[in-house]
A and B are shown apart, each in its own frame.
Chain A
Amino acid sequence: MANYNKITPEIAEQLKAVVGERRFAAGEEVDPNYSHDEMPIYGSYYPEVTVDVESTEEVSKIMKICNDNKIPVTCRGAGTGLVGGCVPLAGGVVLCTKRMNKILHYDMDNLVVRIQPGVLLKDLAADALTHGLMYPPDPGEKTATVGGNISTNAGGMRAVKYGVTRDYVLALTVVLADGRIIELGKTVCKTSSGYSLLHLMVGSEGTLGIITEMTMKLIPNPVCDVSCLVPFPDVDSCIKFVPHIKLANLDPQSIEFMDADIVTSSSAFTGIPTFPERVKDADVGASLLVTFVGADEDELDQKLIKLGKIAEEAGALDVLVVATSSNKKAAWAARSSFLTAIEADTKLLDEMDVVVPVDKIPAFLIYIRSLGDEVGLTIRNFGHAGDGNLHIYCCSNDLELDEFKRRTKIVMDKAYAKCTELEGQVSGEHAIGHAKMEYLRESVGDDVFGLMGEIKRVFDPNYILNPGKVCDASLRQ
C-alpha cells in the first residue's frame, strides 16, 4: 500500500499559489459536495484540499507538487457519477475541472470540436446543434461533464446506432501523474500507430492521468427523427423483438426498454400517462421505445412501415408513433423521469449497470427478480435494450441501512456471478469506481485484473491518481 503524506501548511500554500485564493479551499472551507457523488450509499470521504483548475498548466503544476510530496489527487467533474469514482478515498486533493468549461473551436472541415473537460454534455450538444452538428453520445445525465463521460466511457441511448463516448474521442491532452503534459491521438479517422494510449485513457476514471483538453468527433445533425412505442404483453416477447429490429436493417438510433412497473411509477410520479398501460384492451407487460433518424419523412415512414410489419409478426400489441414535437417532448420527459420516479418512492437504493448479450436480457431479468423475492428486496429496472445494458435498482422503504446493505450484497454477488455466466460485463456505462472493484476482479479474472494493475503502476508509480479505484485494491482492508 502506498504511503501517502498529509498536506502540510507549506504544501497547501504551494497549491494555493497555483490557483489563487478564490479557487482553493481547505479543511472546514471544503464544499461538502466534493465528498460524494450521486450515490452517497457508498460513503462520503472528505479531501483535505480542493482546487478548481482552469488550465492545463495549472493541472501540471498541481500534479508535480502532489507527486513530489506523495499527495493523492482525485479528479472530479460535475460529480454526477454513480460508483463513487470521484470520491477522494484517501483524502488529499480534489482537483475539479468544472471551471474548464470552454468550447475552444470547431474544425468544420474535419467535423471536430476542441473542448475543455468541464464542458457539460448538454452544453456541447446544444452548441454543436447551432453549427448543424450532432454530438452522438447521449448518456442520460445531461449535466455530466464531457471529461467525466470520457473517463467512464459513458454510453447512453444512442449507442445502438452511434456507439459510445470512446468512438468520438480523437485526441486528448493529458497531464501525467508527475506533471508532464502529453498529447494522445490526432484529428484523423484511422490510426494504426502503436499501442493506443488514447483508448487506454478513455474509461480510466482518472487513475492514469488528468484529461485537460479533448478533440471530439461530431456528425452532421440528422434532419428528421421519429420514435415509436412498441408495447408487448410480456418482457420475454418484448426483448426477443430487439434483434429483429436490427436484422431488418432498420438501423435504429436507440432501443429503450421499459416494463409495466416503471411505466406505472413514472405516470404516478409525473402525473401524465404518456406511455399507455393498456393497449387494445390488453395489459402491456413491457414496451420498447425505438427511435429512427433520416434525411426526410418518407425515409422514416418506410422504416415505420417495416417496423410495423415485423412487430405484428413478433406479437406486439400495437405500434404507437411519437412524431409531433409535443409528443416527443412528452415521451423523452417520461423516459428521463424513470430514475427520478424510482428515487421518489424509494428511501434506500443501490444500482447495477450490467451489460449482457441482448438475447440474455430476459434470462437475466427473470433471475434478478427471483433473487429480489428470495432476499426481500424490491427490484426495479429499465435500460437500453438495443445494447443489452440494463439499469437495475435494489430498493427498499422499510429496511434499516445495515440490513439493506446486507441483502443488497447478496443480490449483487449472485447477480454479477450470473452476469459473468451469461457472458456479460460488470458495467455498461457507469464504470467501476470503488463500488464495483471486487465484481470487476471476479468478472475478468486475476490475470486481466493484474495486468490492469501493472498498467496503472507504469502511469502512476506513486499511486497518487484517484487511489482505490478500478484495479487499485490497496486501500481495501
Chain B
Amino acid sequence: MMQKSDYKNMWVYIEHDGKTAAPVGLELCCELRKLCDTTGDKLYAVIIGDLPHEEVDKVRECAVDGIIYVSGTGYDYFNTDAYANAFTVLSRKYNPSAIFVGGTINGRDFAPRFAVQLDTGCTSDAMELEYDPETGDIQFIEPAVGGKIMAVITVPELRPQVGTIRPGTFKYAPAGRKAEIEVICEEINFDPEAIRCKHIDFVPDDLDPELDIANADCIVCVGNGLKDSEHLERYRELAKLLGGKIGCTRPLFDRGILPYKLQIGQSGVMVKTKLYISFGVSGAVNHTAGVDADVFVAVDKNPDAQIFNYCDYGIVGDMDTVCDELIELLKARQK
C-alpha cells in the first residue's frame, strides 16, 4: 500500500490547440514553481500532442524541471475519454503528488473525470495555493457561497491532489529556463474508435470587439445596483467617452441584461486595465479577483460596500446620478 509521501512532484497540463499554448498553463507553471520550491517537489509540464518548438520554449522559460510529452492516437481533437485516460495512465505510472489543469471549458470537463478514475479528491477555482508542511497537503484557498467566505480545501488522504484553476488567477512571470530539463516521452494510444464523443465540426464565433474586454484600456463595470436595462445606456455612453468598454458582474448576466462575455470575475473574464470604474458593484471576492487595474474607482450607494476596500477612489452615492455627472464633465472636457 502506497503512502501519501510516496507521491512526489507536481504536474501542470499545458492546454494547446496545436499552434499555441493557452496562457493558463504557463500561469500555472509560474505559480507552481514557487510552491514546488517550498515543498521540494519537481515541477513537470505535461504536453499532449504536437506543439511547435517556440511554444514549448515558453513552457521551458517557466522554470519547469521536466516535460512529459504524450504522443499516440486519440488526441487530434479534445475529447474527454482520451485526455482523461492519458492522465490516469501517466499518474498510475509516475504517482505525482498533484496535478493542475487550467479551468477552461475543456479543462473543467476532463480533470474531475480522471480524478474519479484515480479515486482521488478534486478541487476547482482556487485563488491561492499554500503548503502545509505538517500534513504535506496543499491548501486550495477559494471563495465560496457567492464570495461571502474564503474556504480552505485540502485532499487529506488521497493522491494525487487534483485542482483546476481559472485562467488569469495567477500571474505569468516566468522565472527563467533551468539548466537541465528532464524529458519524458510516453506513447499512450487511445483507440479513436473508442472515443465516445466525437468532434464533428467547429464554427468560430463572430468577433464582436465590444465583447473583448480582457485588455481594454478602460472598463466601466455595472453591478447588481443597476435598476434595469433602461438605465444601462448612460454607462455605455460613459465607457465610450472614456474610450473604454462596458463590463458587468455575475448578477447582471444572470438577470439577462448583459452577455456572459462581459461578466468580469473569476467565473467570467479576468481583466487587465488602466482604469476601472465600478457602479453598483458590491465587491464580492469572486468579482474583484478578476480585476487587475492601475486605477480602481468605485461608486455605490452603500457606504459599507466591500468594493470600497478595493478601490483607489470611491464615491458614495446614487450610481446613475454620479454617472450622469461624469458624462457631463467629460463632455465638457472634450469640447
Chain A residues with CB under 8 Å of chain B are: 143, 269-272, 333, 336-337, 340, 343-344
Query: In the complex the two chains form, what is the Cα distance from A225 to B84 in whole Å?
Result: 49
Query: In the complex the two chains form, what is the Cα distance from A272 to B256 in whole Å?
Result: 7
Q: Are B229 and A337 in contact (CB under 8 A)?
A: yes
Q: Are B229 and A333 in contact (CB under 8 A)?
A: no
Q: Are A269 and B255 in contact (CB under 8 A)?
A: no
Q: What is the CB-to-nearest-CB distance from B195 to chain A, in angstroms, rounded to a whole number? A: 35
Query: In the complex the two chains form, what is the Cα distance from A5 to B228 in whole Å?
Result: 42
Q: Are B256 and A270 in contact (CB under 8 A)?
A: yes
Query: In the complex the two chains form, what is the Cα distance from A269 to B229 in whole Å?
Result: 8
**A343: chain B residues within 8 A (beta carbon):** 230
Q: 15 A–B contact pairs at CB < 8 A? A: A143-B227, A270-B229, A270-B256, A270-B257, A271-B256, A272-B256, A333-B255, A336-B228, A337-B228, A337-B229, A340-B228, A340-B229, A340-B230, A343-B230, A344-B229
Overall SS of chain B's interface = loop
**B257: chain A residues within 8 A (beta carbon):** 270
Chain B residues with CB under 8 Å of chain A are: 227-230, 255-257
Query: In the complex the two chains form, what is the Cα distance from A143 to B231 in whole Å?
Result: 13
**B228: chain A residues within 8 A (beta carbon):** 336-337, 340
Query: In the complex the two chains form, what is the Cα distance from A272 to B257 in whole Å?
Result: 9
Q: What is the CB-to-nearest-CB distance from B143 to chain A, in angstroms, rounded to a whole number? A: 23
Overall SS of chain A's interface = helix
**A269: chain B residues within 8 A (beta carbon):** 229
Q: Which residue of B lies closest to A339 (CB)?
A: B230
Query: In the complex the two chains form, what is the Cα distance from A143 to B257 in whole Å?
Result: 20
Query: In the complex the two chains form, what is the Cα distance from A272 to B229 in whole Å?
Result: 13
Query: In the complex the two chains form, what is the Cα distance from A343 to B228 in whole Å?
Result: 12
Query: In the complex the two chains form, what is the Cα distance from A236 to B157 in whole Å?
Result: 69
Query: In the complex the two chains form, what is the Cα distance from A117 to B230 in whole Å?
Result: 26
Q: What is the CB-to-nearest-CB distance from A90 to chain B, in angstroms, rounded to a whole number? A: 27
Q: What is the CB-to-nearest-CB distance from B172 to chain A, in angstroms, rounded to a whole number? A: 35
**A271: chain B residues within 8 A (beta carbon):** 256
Query: In the complex the two chains form, what is the Cα distance from A333 to B229 in whole Å?
Result: 11
Query: In the complex the two chains form, what is the Cα distance from A336 to B227 in whole Å?
Result: 11
Query: In the complex the two chains form, what is the Cα distance from A222 to B190 in whole Å?
Result: 63
Query: In the complex the two chains form, what is the Cα distance from A337 to B227 in whole Å?
Result: 11
Q: Which residue of B lies closest to A337 (CB)?
A: B228
Query: In the complex the two chains form, what is the Cα distance from A179 to B257 in whole Å?
Result: 48
**B229: chain A residues within 8 A (beta carbon):** 269-270, 337, 340, 344
Query: In the complex the two chains form, what is the Cα distance from A363 to B255 in whole Å?
Result: 37
Extra inter-chain contacts (6) besides given A270-B256, A271-B256, A344-B229, CB under 8 Å: A143-B227, A270-B257, A336-B228, A337-B229, A340-B228, A344-B230
Top 6 nearest A-B pairs by Cβ distance?
A: A340-B230, A271-B256, A272-B256, A270-B256, A340-B228, A340-B229
Q: What is the CB-to-nearest-CB distance from A273 to chain B, in angstroms, rounded to a whole number? A: 10
Q: Which residue of B lies closest to A270 (CB)?
A: B256
Q: What is the CB-to-nearest-CB distance from B263 to chain A, in angstroms, rounded to a whole number? A: 14
Query: In the complex the two chains form, what is the Cα distance from A179 to B94 in whole Å?
Result: 90
Q: Which residue of B lies closest to A274 (CB)?
A: B256
Query: In the complex the two chains form, what is the Cα distance from A270 to B255 in whole Å?
Result: 8
Q: What is the CB-to-nearest-CB distance from B261 to chain A, in angstroms, rounded to a whole number? A: 14
Q: What is the CB-to-nearest-CB distance from B332 to chain A, in angstroms, rounded to a whole number? A: 13
